[in-house]
Structure 1
Amino acid sequence: MSPKKDSFTLPRFKHKYLDNWRFLSELLLAVLVLLVVFLVAAELDLSGTLYSWSQRVDHLFDLDDLLLSVLLVGPLYLVFFAYRRLVEIRTLVEQANTDVLTGILNRRYVMEVLAREVRRSHRYHRELSVILFDIDHFKQINDQFGHPAGDRVLKSFASLAAGRIRDLDLLARTGGEEFMVVATETGGMGAMELAERLRSAVESTNFGIDQVVTASFGVSQLRPGESFGSLMQRADERLYRAKRDGRNRVEGPGANQPRP
């Protein structure tokens, strides 16, 4: 079977998360150090000592210009230093939370987010669903076309999925060819519709290999009082059922019939 003709180029996308607490804690530490220096200087009367010293050396140096230079350069340097630390923190946090190959969220971070979303949904009685899915026969793709081609398929697959979910949903790579969508504010039927759109889009996309790529999906909706683990287990069982019953299908609440 020849691959479908729809194709796309891989856009660049990243999920950026900033560790604000770490930045604020460093800023607070800087303020505390400044306060300690001020108190020590006041206790030792350093201003009087410096003034006496300046009177002795003023004929050698233009201290007014030196002081003006310090007052101008000092704040500029502090602003530059703070901005550089902000960029470094953003980069480190982003690297810790994203998958290196695809640029989407990794398993560790999305599990933390999902646990928080489960608590939030129970507290405010909001809907929450999870979609687990993976690429069918991915090992065959690696074996037949090579691992570089498999990596390209994974990148394109992640890009395709990222372009078809809502801004408030979260997409993550949870394993080799395994992915997950945390569908916030979404019930089971809405998540089923999203999974079906993803399934259809994957099947109709050319991934650059001489083979049609498909995916199987398992969907579960959070039940009242349900635990994080139970929600994930039910979605995983439905994904396994989709694989067992022929692949390239969606299993979940009101699951569709097997694909021809």
Structure 2
Amino acid sequence: MMQHIEQERLRFEQQRRLIYRIAGVLGVLAILYAQCINFIDPSSSYAYRAIYALNHIAFAGVCIAVVWMLRRQHIPIDRIERLMLVIFIVQSLGFNGIVPAIFLPSPSAMLIDAIGDDIWFLLIICVLAVHLYDVRRGALIAASVFLVSFGIVMIQLARWRLIGVDAANSQQVISIYLMAGALLGFLIVLSAYRAQAERLRTGYELMIHMAYTDTLTGLPNRRRLYEELCRLIGMADRYGQEFCVCLFDIDHFKQLNDQHGHLVGDQVLCAIAQTALPHLRAVDHFGRWGGEEFAILLPQTSLSDAQMALDRVRMALQAINLADVPTITASFGVAEYLPGDTSESILHRADQSMYLAKTTGRNRIVVDGDVEAGLRYAHR
């Protein structure tokens, strides 16, 4: 399972790197477009346009550098994300806050600039902060950036009012920032709620996994197998689907533990789990029943077909090669579902078959019909 999780993590990281590289290229194109608009805009002063031209050049260089870093697999993507967040915050406070407040001539120009892109870029940065950090730290960063940006705007609006500049649009600018702040607050609360829901869901899935998985082998445990057996009995009663139950036990496992230690015994159990699984179908249910005993549920399988399938498993177990460990064998008992069977009755017959396999020589498969013959032989 851990290997599967690691593979999923690596796949997700590659997807993130690809998306960010595409976003970086698109960002360079957007900067070039913004520079063209800045160049042909006659309403702005030369100083204003020069400052933005230098900013566009620097920002485009940053985007190109980030695209290059994303191709370097040894640079953690989390570090790149947080570096970009810092750059975006500086960009927003400097060139969407301080520079416009200094160079724009009136509140009406500030209103147009805010509606155009300033407020949206600010919100994107704040949401990104909540995404990259835990909710508490992200909310603190987002709120700080927003309040500083809003403070810059309020200072400039207050300065305009003091020097007598027409402040007819000041109220609208303030309203826009207040609505953006309310939206940001809602997004932070939503993120906190989502984070809590994710923690609960992850905790629930972890408890389910622990409850139904054998910690040593990673196979389904007895509880899980028992539930699947009850489900198969229900399907058989309703639709007449045949199935078989197999219990198998490792031969001389106690002796192996005594001679080689429990660590080697655990290695044997794990090797059996890894070896048997590829020889079973995807619909079969294979798990650890307890101790050195395993169980296999074979849906839609007759007794003869089950015997052939399990013989392949038996032969595969004999081929396991562990250092200083003798040949591994197992005794198999198989029972076929009969109308009226309960989980206890079919397990009892499979257990009897397995016991007969152990008492008549081990390393063999005994099916349900052989039990009576074996018992008669034993009483002679």
Whether TM exceeds 0.5 here: the answer is: yes
* CA shift in 2, pair 1:185/1:175, >3 Å: same
Alignment match, 1:245:
360
- Counterpart residue identity of residue 347, structure 2: M
Q: What is the 5 A alignment of 1:165-176? A: 165-176=280-291
Structure 1 match to 2:348: 233
**Secondary structure of 2:327 counterpart:** coil
Q: Determine if the alignment matches structure 1 residue 133 to structure 2 residue 248.
A: yes
Q: Which deviations, in whole Å up to 9, do the C-alpha atoms of 1:72-112 show, x marking residues without a partner? A: 22333333332332222111100010111111111122112
How many Å separate the matches in 2 of 1:135 and 1:12?
Answer: 27
Match of 1:89 in 2: 204
Matched residue type, 1:124: Y
Answering whether residue 152 of structure 2 is matched by residue 75 of structure 1, we say no
Aligned partner (choices 274, 280, 293) of residue 178 of structure 1 = 293
Pairs within 5 Å for 1:106-125: 106-125=221-240
Quote the residue 1:155 is aligned against: 270
TM-score after normalising by structure 2? 0.50
The percentage of counterpart residues that share the same residue type is 38
Q: Trace 1:14-93 onto structure 2 (pairs within 5 A).
A: 63-93=178-208
Aligned to 1:8: none
Q: Is the 8 A contact 1:126 1:185 kept in 2?
A: yes
Which amino acid in 2 is paired with 1:128? F
Counterpart CA distance in 2 for 1:125 and 1:207 is 43
Letter in 2 for 1:105: P
C-alpha spacing 1:234/1:183, structure 2 compared with 1 (3 Å):
same
SS of the aligned residue for 1:163 comes to helix
Check the 8 A contact 2:276/2:313 in 1, yes or no.
yes
1:206-249 superposed Cα distances (whole Å, 9 cap, x missing partner): 13333111011001110122222221111111101110110000
Three-state SS of the structure 2 residue aligned to 1:218 is strand
CA distance in 2, matches of 1:139, 1:237: 20
Distance 1:140 1:150 in 2: 10
Aligned pair in 2 of structure 1 residues 253, 174: CA closer, same or farther (>3 Å)?
closer
1:223 counterpart = 2:338: yes
> After TM superposition, where is structure 1 displaced by more than 4 Å over at least 4 residues in a row?
11-14
* 1:193 matches 2:314: no
* Secondary structure of 1:118's aligned partner: helix
CA contact (8 A) 1:216 1:250 kept: yes
Secondary structure, in 3 states, of the residue corresponding to 2:281?
coil
Name the structure where helix makes up a greater proportion of residues.
Answer: 2
Residue 160 to residue 13, structure 1, CA distance change in 2 (3 Å): farther
Aligned residue-pair number: 202
How far did residue 204 of structure 1 move? 1.6
CA contact (8 A) 1:220 1:231 kept: yes
Partner Cα separation in structure 2 for residue 92 and residue 247 of structure 1: 38
**Cα separation, partners in 2 of 1:117 and 1:150, compared to 1, 3 Å:** same
Determine the C-alpha separation between the residues in 2 that align with 1:207 and 1:115.
36
Amino acid at match of 1:113: E
In the TM superposition, residue 147 of structure 1 has moved relative to its aligned partner by 0.8
Q: Deviations along 1:122-160, whole A, 9 cap, x unmatched? A: 111101110100100001110111110011101111111
TM-score (normalised: structure 1): 0.71
Once residues 353 and 202 of structure 2 are traced to their aligned partners in structure 1, the CA distance between those partners, rounded to angstroms, is 42
**Matched residue, 1:105:** 220
2:327 to 198, 204, 212: 212
Which amino acid in structure 1 is aligned with residue 342 of structure 2? S
**CA distance in structure 2 between the partners assigned to 1:97 and 1:254 by the alignment:** 32
What residue identity is the alignment partner of 2:262?
Answer: H
**Structure 2 CA distance, aligned partners of 1:249 and 1:90?**
39
Residues 13 and 140 from structure 1, CA distance in 2 versus in 1: closer, same or farther, beyond 3 angstroms? farther
* Paired residue type of 1:236: D
Counterpart Cα distance in 2 of 1:13 and 1:64: 44
State the shift of 1:253 in Å.
5.4
Q: CA RMSD in A?
A: 2.5
SS in 1 for 2:215: coil
